[in-house]
Chains A and B, each alone.
Chain A
Amino acid sequence: MATLGLIFSNIHDKEIFEVTQNRTIASAPIGGRYRLIDFTLSNMVNNNITNIGVVTKYNYQSLMDHIGSGKEWDLARKNGGLVILPPYGVSSDLYNSRLEALKSILSFIRYAKAEYVVLADCYQVCNIDFKPIFKQHFETKADITCVYRETDINIDDYSPVVMMEVDENKTVVKMDIQKSFVGHANVSTDTWIIKKDLLQSLVTQAIERNQHSFNRDILKENLGNLKICGYRFDGYFGNISSLQSYYKVNMDLLNNCIRNELFYQPGRAIYTRVRDSAPTKYGDYANIKDSLIADGCIIDGTVENSVLFRGVRISQGAVVKNSILMQNTIISEGISVNRVITDKFVSITHTKSIAGKNGELIYIKKDGVL
């Protein structure tokens, strides 16, 4: 059954944090060698969805550079494959919501050779198998299936929070959309399965009524008219919406069970762009504990509980703890960092010690020299 994948690369752009100031959430670096979109793209490809549109709005240079023609995900195809959908049209206003974004790509959707559409976001680190979701979708004869998870919502999670009540027949009986919410609930993961024809007609109707919200105006509004079901996802779900959660998810990847679940599912590998780095070289004074380290690093210092991206250099006598060092970060001799997130090409060569105190994190922006 032909399925079109639609990925929203930065739909939550009102809530940017340090790492996403100059890039889409989709292209935020994660886990030493990945970008967030790698998870969503790989999840689709691993479920045979090979016709994918990536909806972008701005700051998408790093995203385009990362996904290129899509060949790393086997998406450089004659039929379907990967298409980047930048803003289009004569209107000077860019879209502001998922619904408006869908409106702007209606003709792309119309011409796609597909019966179903899977819509997904990029703020999540998970390895999700769509096969049981489709199975439930058919068994329940649902019009729309929404993937949700039961979780605690924090103050820095994306708003509005879309909560749902699901009955024993998997039917969503109530939706609650709140600007801010803290507590325990069934929350939408912003992943939906819907028939293409239905999506087209719902979006067209909503435009005619001058509506703006996919969740409120299409889903919640139609709870009585359409059969909307919920699929409960119980796997690992790293949810990134702030510097704190970005840090937490990276640290989660130091856990063996989580890493196994994400990266070693048979037939469901996570693909990413390959950069041909040399293997990582450890020197005579390397002292490493519980760290995830990409290729192309040269390490001769102490590294504990940290995530290192490719090309990081740690000199002899340097100490890196509880930190995330993005591509080509340089930590010179005798320097110590703790609870620090460095963006790409940061070099710390003369500030003796940088440490986030009392649970704080220190973010050092791209090209920073300290």
Chain B
Amino acid sequence: MLNKKECVAMLLAGGQGSRLYALTNKIAKPAVPFGAKYRIIDFPLSNCINSNIDTVGVLTQYQPLVLNDYIGNGQPWDLDRAFGGVHILPPYQGKLKTDWYRGTANAIYQNVDFIKRYNPEYVIILSGDHIYKMDYGKMLAFHREKKADITIAVIDVPIKEASRFGIMNTKADHEIYEFEEKPKKPKSTNASMGIYIFSSEELYKYLEEDDQDATSSNDFGKNIIPKMLADGKKLYAYPFSGYWKDVGTIDSLWEANMDLLGQEPLFETFDPDWKIYSRNDPFPPQFIASGAFVKNSLITVGCHIEGRVVNSLLSNNVKVGKGALVEDSVIFSNTVIEEGASVRYSIIDEDVIIRKNSIVGTTEPTSDKITVVSSQVTIGEGAHVMPGSILEKDFEG
């Protein structure tokens, strides 16, 4: 067994994801369920193992219990390794100082000793809030070929959206000469995906300097990258093409789920060469009863369907009663939708009970308002939850 790793991944999973509101009351954003049987963090973790990166540090801070439990020893992702594997890295008490993670760069800085245990040549920094499939190995090859100090993955975004992103302006050979954070008048459409490969010595050096700088907000985008650019370091942009979606808001989470549906979905989960791994629960196969109607949907183990399910994604053990309707919605685990209830344009969290004949969300065939029901909420018989509401307490109507 080698006593070093070529590349170690550091996955930033400490964010609250406050724009997901009720869905992240008790769990960190990377632990939010996605795509009927996954959680958001399954995507970067599966990308790692599919890219032959078997050493991953997961930096947690906000509400880590569910996430810790979910990742466990990493076995579902084949990341239970004697040397390497997945490691949860929470903030810890130090001899001289103790601190929460004060920004993306500081979170990595506090765990530099973890990285150094594996003596890697490269470190890849990932975030736990995007849905995408990416071969980090190709990006690493690009980084090596360019002899870069840092390589930043970029994706081409529509010009009218470019001002929402960090934009990398590059020369013809992809070398970055300018970085603009959320520019009003973007010069290009190369948006940073928040994925960085560092040559490790450069990473250590810049993290050390950044920590000494009292004025720094300890952030890769705001501090480290501009500093490296100013120092004349070699920064390259690695162009990625393919599906990539930030699922940081209710609307984008709903949209990204819907992108999995259809004859030729925008994001394909049925990819034998790029499996998405997840922790599985021991439930029997789904049962579709007589009288049920299922169309353009993704459904997983333990579900019991007697009603109508159209354009929707159902996580494990969801029950849909007779005459109930679930349309254009995303339902998380163990939720029960009783007879005659209707759920449209909604995201329903885990362990919710929607009683008979109640209505959640719009009654129209289309809507631009997504309704959210938080975990363990009960919606009373015949109640009507208005479109666009975010429900965190039991509701009798």
Q: Complex Cα distance A149/B70, Å?
A: 41
Q: How far is the CA of A263 from the CA of B317 in the complex (A)?
A: 12
Closest to B75 in A: A71
Tell whether A360 is near chain B: CB-to-CB under 8 Å: no
In the assembled complex, how far is the CB of residue A356 from the closest CB belonging to chain B, in whole angstroms? 22
Is the C-beta of A278 less than 8 angstroms from some C-beta in chain B? yes
Q: Does A292 contact B (CB under 8 A)?
A: yes
- The residues in A between 252 and 305 inclusive whose CB is less than 8 angstroms from any CB of B are 253-254, 256, 259, 262-263, 269-272, 274, 276, 278-284, 286, 288-296, 298, 303
Contact indicator A295/B289 (Cβ below 8 Å):
no
A32 in the interface (beta carbon within 8 A):
yes
Q: A31-B285, A295-B301 are in contact. Are A274 and B280 (CB under 8 A)?
A: yes
Tally of B interface residues using CB under 8 Å:
36
By the criterion CB–CB under 8 Å, are A291 and B299 in contact? no
Q: In the complex, which of the residues A31, A281, A283, A284 has the most CB atoms of chain B within 10 Å of its own CB atom?
A: A281
- B residues within 8 A CB of A31? 284-285
* B355 interface contact, C-beta 8 A: no
Asked if B163 is an interface residue, CB under 8 A from chain A, the answer is no
Q: Is B131 an interface residue (CB 8 A)?
A: no
In the bound complex, CA of A271 to CA of B280 (Å): 10
Answer yes or no: A344 CB below 8 A from chain B CBs: no
Contact check, B283 vs A276: say whether CB atoms are below 8 A apart. no
* A23 within 8 A of partner (CB): no
B276 and A276 contacting across the interface, CB-CB below 8 Å = yes
Bits for A166-209, please: 1 = Cβ < 8 Å to B, else 0: 00000000000000000000000000000000000000000000
Question: Does A33 interact with chain B (Cβ within 8 Å)?
Answer: yes
B222 is an interface residue with CB less than 8 A from chain A = no
Residues of A within 8 A of B263 (CB): 283-284
Residues on B with C-beta less than 8 A from A294 are 285-286, 301
- Chain B residue at minimal CB-CB distance from A296: B270
Q: Does B288 contact A (CB under 8 A)?
A: yes
- Would you call B313 and A292 a contact (CB within 8 A)? no
Taking the complex as formed, is B37 at the interface, i.e. its CB lies under 8 A from any CB of chain A? Answer: yes
- Residues in B neighbouring A263, C-beta threshold 8 A: 283-284
Decide: B76 and A274 in contact? CB cutoff 8 A. Answer: yes
Is the Cβ of B270 less than 8 Å from the Cβ of A281?
Answer: yes
Chain B residue at smallest Cβ distance from A71? B75
Cβ of A71: which chain B residues have Cβ within 8 Å of it?
Answer: 75
Q: Complex: how many Å from CA A282 to CA B294?
A: 7
Instruction: Determine the chain B residues whose CB is within 8 A of the CB of A281 once the complex forms.
Output: 261, 270, 297-298
Pairwise interchain contact B287-A279, C-beta atoms closer than 8 A: no
For A309, give the chain B residue with the smallest CB separation: B285
Mark each residue of chain B from 34 to 62: 1 if its CB lies under 8 Å from any CB of chain A, else 0.
Answer: 01110000000000000000000000000
What residues of A have a CB within 8 angstroms of the CB of B286 in the complex?
280, 292-295
Q: Is the CB of A288 within 8 A of B288?
A: yes
How many angstroms from the CA of A274 to the CA of B316 in the assembled complex? 14
The residues of A that contact B261 with a CB separation of less than 8 Å are 281
Contact residues in B for A286 (Cβ distance below 8 Å): 294-295
Rounded to whole angstroms, the CA-CA distance of A221 and B16 in the bound complex is 70
Quick check: B295 and A259 within 8 Å, CB to CB? no
Most buried by B among A276, A286, A292, A296: A276
B75, B278, B282, B292: the one contacting A288 at CB < 8 Å is: B292
A121 to B379, CA, bound (A): 47
Known: A282-B296, A283-B263. A259 touches B269 (CB 8 A): no
Q: Contacts A276-B275, A281-B298, A284-B296 known; A270 to B282 CB distance under 8 Å?
A: yes
Which of B35, B290, B299 has the most chain A CB within a 10 Å cutoff?
B299
Find out whether the CB atom of A282 lies under 8 angstroms from the CB atom of B284. no
Contact flags A59-74 to B (C-beta < 8 A → 1, else 0): 0000000000001000
> 1/0 per position for B306-334, CB-CB distance to A under 8 A?
00010001100000000000000000000
Contact B288 A293 (CB under 8 A): yes
Q: Would A289 and B299 count as touching, CB distance under 8 A?
A: no
Chain B residues lying within 8 Å of A296, measured Cβ to Cβ, are 270
Q: Which residue of A lies closest to B304 (CB)?
A: A256
| Chain B residues within 8 Å of A272, by CB | 282
Q: Check B277 for interface membership: any CB of A closer than 8 A.
A: yes
In the assembled complex, B300 has its CB within 8 A of some CB on chain A: yes
| Bound CA span A281–B264, Å | 11
Contacts of B295 in A (CB 8 A): 282-284, 286
- CB pair A279–B296 under 8 Å, yes or no, is no
**CB neighbours of B298 from chain A (8 A):** 278-282
Interface residues of B (CB under 8 A from A): 35-37, 75-76, 261, 263, 269-270, 275-278, 280, 282-292, 294-301, 309, 313-314
Q: Could you give 22 example pairs across A and B, Cβ below 8 Å?
A: A31-B284, A31-B285, A32-B284, A256-B287, A263-B284, A274-B76, A276-B277, A278-B270, A279-B36, A280-B300, A281-B297, A282-B296, A283-B296, A288-B292, A289-B289, A289-B291, A290-B289, A293-B287, A294-B285, A295-B37, A295-B300, A308-B285
Given contacts A33-B301, A295-B285, 20 further A-B pairs with CB under 8 A are: A32-B285, A263-B283, A274-B76, A276-B277, A279-B36, A281-B261, A281-B270, A282-B297, A282-B298, A282-B309, A286-B295, A288-B292, A289-B288, A289-B290, A290-B290, A292-B284, A292-B285, A292-B286, A292-B287, A307-B285
